[in-house]
Amino acid sequence: MRYSRITATGSYLPERVMTNAELEVLVDTSDEWIQARTGIRERHIVRDDESTCDMCEQAALRALEAADIDANTIELIVLATSTPDLIYPSTACLLQHRLGIDNNCAAFDVQAACSGFIYAFSIADKFIASGAVKRALVLGADSNSRILDWSDRGTCVLFGDGAGAMLLEAATEPGIYVTRLHANGAYSSLLQVPSGVSKPTGDPFIRMRGNEVFKFAVNAMGSIVNETLEECGLEKNDIDWLIPHQANQRIIKATAKKLDMTMEKVILTVAEHGNTSGGSIPLALDTGIRDGRIKRGDNLFFEAIGSGFTWGSVVAKY
Ligand code: UT7
């Protein structure tokens, strides 16, 4: 039996920080409302000349530096994004070239909105577990500010930009205990960017029925806790850290409660990052590793829900 394990991480946030006070000037909102309803204080926003691939490059370089390995030893790149630089080639292909990788390794994007990193993580784990590759670079990144309607207070206060990268490598001991992926397209109208390539509608911005998404998210994240633990045979108190998708502190609190966890055991970045979609989980993971909270041997519970709806979880030993 082959296993995969997380060997190193890196992340990147754009330099420009946008506070809630700045949003008060753009739309009818308040710092008080945003903090009370979401937990968000500020978010990072890409420069006009900065792209998803630029952010991924910085995050990947930091992960490669942490692992002290040559980029050309990477055998697979899986990149989760809903805001690619181009329609094609994929951002993963652009990134491969940027990193100077010329070994012809497979590189592709995954689109599962805010659950994208969980999907990418699961795919890379399966590639390694099957013996197809030994070292994968897994990324999640989004430039959400490019698809925000800055006059829609129901969405523009929620999102931010950022990228995270993780190296996943073959191991002899179990590193990833279980991955669970779900989707239900019946909910597609509740959270979407309506204008597409084959079906242009003229509305290229995030549209969300927030309260309905919220209710689904709390239920889905609650049930996935039991389902995931049951499958990997771990108890709630075996989990050291919850590393959730960072959309709303109230959804995260409800999931932590399901795991009988105090908020001290949750890696929470939503206050400083906002919702960075595909970037949020690898950004939180890298934050927790670099500040020393997450230690080797700790059991980590990752979960996310996003447009689709898509949702999923991963339980891993770091
Ligand atoms: O990452 C993908 C998954 N996404 C999510 O998980 C997001 C899930 N949804 C949420 O996080 C929450 O639903 C929101 C934060 C988006 C909204 O919070 P809520 O507690 O569900 O508020 P609501 O939509 O029920 O709106 C309550 C009130 C409304 O006013 P009325 O009708 O009560 O007068 C809204 O118009 O708050 C109003 N409102 C705002 N007020 C000030 C909505 N947005 C704002 C705003 N500032 N930015």
> Rounded to the nearest 10 degrees, how much is the dihedral formed by the CA atoms of 146, 31, 189, 44?
30
Nearest residue (by CA) to ligand 1, atom 24, is 211
Catalytic-role residue among 156, 245, 248, 273: 245
Q: What is the pLDDT of residue 34?
A: 98
Query: Three-state DSSP class for 234?
Result: coil
Q: In ligand 1, which atom is closest to the CA atom of 306? A: 2
Q: Mean pLDDT in the chain? A: 97
For the domain 176-317, what is the CATH code?
A: 3.40.47.10
What average pLDDT does this structure show over 231-244?
Answer: 96
Strand 106-110 vs strand 76-80: parallel, antiparallel, or unpaired?
parallel
To the query of whether residue 53 is one of the catalytic residues in this protein, the response is no
232 part of the active site: no
Nearest CA to ligand 1 atom 39: 154
CB atoms within 10 A of CB 197: 6
For domain 3-171, the CATH architecture is 3-Layer(aba) Sandwich (3.40)
Of all protein residues, the one whose alpha carbon is nearest to atom 42 of ligand 1 is: 29
- Model confidence band, residue 288 (pLDDT cutoffs 50, 70, 90): very high
Amino acid 190: pLDDT: 98
| Ligand 1 shell residues, CB under 6 Å | 29, 33, 37-38, 114, 153-154, 157-158, 210-211, 213-214, 217, 247-248, 251, 275, 305-306
Instruction: Look at the alpha carbons of 292, 293, 294, 297 in this order and tell me if their dihedral is positive or negative.
Output: positive
CB burial string 67-99: b at 16+ within 10 A, e below: bebebeebbbbbbbbbbbbeeeebbbbbbbebb
> pLDDT at position 120, please?
98
CB count within 10 Å of CB 176 equals 25
Residues 6+ apart with CB under 8 A from 169: 4, 5, 7, 128, 134, 135, 136
**Domain edges within the chain:** 3-171, 176-317
- Residue 57 confidence class, pLDDT cut points 50, 70, 90: very high
Q: How far is the CA of 295 from the centre of ligand 1 (A)?
A: 36
pLDDT, residue 80, reads: 99
Could you tell which of 31, 83, 211 is best to mutate to test the pocket of ligand 1, judged by most ligand atoms within 8 Å of the CB?
211
Summarised one tens digit per residue, pLDDT across range 153-182 is 999 999 999 999 999 999 999 899 999 999
Is residue 156 among the annotated active site residues?
Answer: no
**From 114, 156, 232, 248, the catalytic residue:** 114
**Cα(119) to centroid(ligand 1), Å:** 27
To which residue do tokens 């995030």 refer?
206
Closest CA to 161 of 16, 10, 310: 16
